[in-house]
């Protein structure tokens, strides 16, 4: 009985500690007063810490207890940004082997999120807010991981490139579902998607835009020319 009680107290202590060290979830689509994207979250505990497993445990618990598919996807976007922040911090400290493992975790989560987005869309779920959060998280990986790639040795670059590839695929999935929402082919809030894509075009003009944004912009211009 005492042993069971001791384990229970330890579990509660671990979860309370994790709540203190894991950054809180952000407001989706939040911006600062300049209209720019907010900075990456504080990474909190980094891989290599003896307590990092607590952070991983709490992330898994929060995903498992998410109230809806959209809430779970928003959390995934948050954790993708945390992985980016971790990789950035580790690269700055010369922890190449830990960067490699962090990139593997990022890739696995990005792939899982992309699959869940496709599944949720096929099931007719409105995941508009999650799409915005995931698009931002995967888009930011291009800049952050590009810098990480320049700072790590060859042995870690393969994992970084695979993470970038998974991130690009995940972003394409999000943009594709957004376009389906705009066309009325999938449930969601097209007015929110339109505002988001308009802002995105302003942030990423010309060559910085992805294929999906260019396609959407071309359709809009074509419609405008026909009026």
Give the containing element (helix H, strand E) for 75. Answer: helix 69-92
Residue 46 lies in a domain: no
In contact, 181 and 187? CB cutoff 8 Å: yes
- Work out the number of other CB atoms within 10 angstroms of the CB of residue 112: 15
Residue 158 lies in a domain: yes
**Separation of CA 49 from chain center:** 23
Residue 27 lies in a domain: no
Give the range of the structural domain holding residue 160, as residue numbers without chain letter: 68-206
Whole-structure pTM value = 0.78
Give the containing element (helix H, strand E) for 1. Answer: none
Residue 1 lies in a domain: no
Residue 57 lies in a domain: no
Q: Give the Cα-Cα-Cα angle 74, 185, 29 (nearest 5 degrees).
A: 25
Tens digit of each residue's pLDDT, the chain (227 residues): 555 455 445 555 555 554 544 444 443 443 433 356 778 999 999 999 999 999 999 999 999 999 999 999 999 999 999 999 999 999 988 888 899 999 999 999 999 999 999 999 999 999 999 999 999 999 999 999 999 999 998 889 999 999 999 999 999 999 999 999 999 999 999 999 999 988 887 766 544 444 444 444 444 444 444 44
Tokens of 28: 């989706």
Taking the alpha carbons at both ends of the chain, their separation in whole angstroms is 78
Residue 17 lies in a domain: no
In contact, 54 and 21? CB cutoff 8 Å: yes
Residue 225 lies in a domain: no
Residue 153 lies in a domain: yes
pLDDT of residue 198: 87
* Number of structural domains found in the chain: 1
């Amino acid at each position: 009985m005492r042993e069971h009680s001791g384990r229970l107290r330890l579990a509660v202590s671990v979860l309370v500690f994790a709540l203190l060290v894991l950054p809180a979830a952000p407001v989706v689509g939040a911006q600062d007063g300049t209209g720019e994207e907010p900075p990456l979250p504080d990474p909190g505990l980094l891989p290599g810490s003896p307590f990092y497993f607590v952070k991983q445990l709490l992330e898994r618990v929060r995903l498992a207890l998410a109230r809806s598919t959209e809430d779970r996807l928003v959390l995934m976007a948050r954790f993708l940004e945390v992985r980016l922040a971790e990789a950035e911090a580790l690269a700055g400290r010369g922890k190449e082997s830990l960067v490699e493992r962090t990139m593997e975790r990022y890739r696995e989560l990005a792939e899982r999120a992309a699959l869940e987005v496709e599944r949720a869309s096929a099931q007719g779920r409105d995941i508009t807010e999650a799409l915005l959060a995931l698009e931002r998280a995967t888009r930011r990986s291009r800049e952050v991981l590009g810098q990480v790639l320049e700072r790590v040795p060859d042995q870690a670059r393969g994992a970084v490139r695979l993470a970038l590839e998974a991130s690009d695929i995940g972003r394409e999935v999000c943009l594709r579902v957004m376009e389906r929402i705009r066309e009325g082919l999938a449930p969601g809030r097209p007015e929110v998607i339109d505002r988001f894509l308009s802002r995105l075009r302003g942030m990423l003009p010309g060559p910085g835009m992805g294929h999906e944004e260019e396609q959407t912009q071309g359709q809009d211009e074509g419609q405008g020319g026909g009026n």
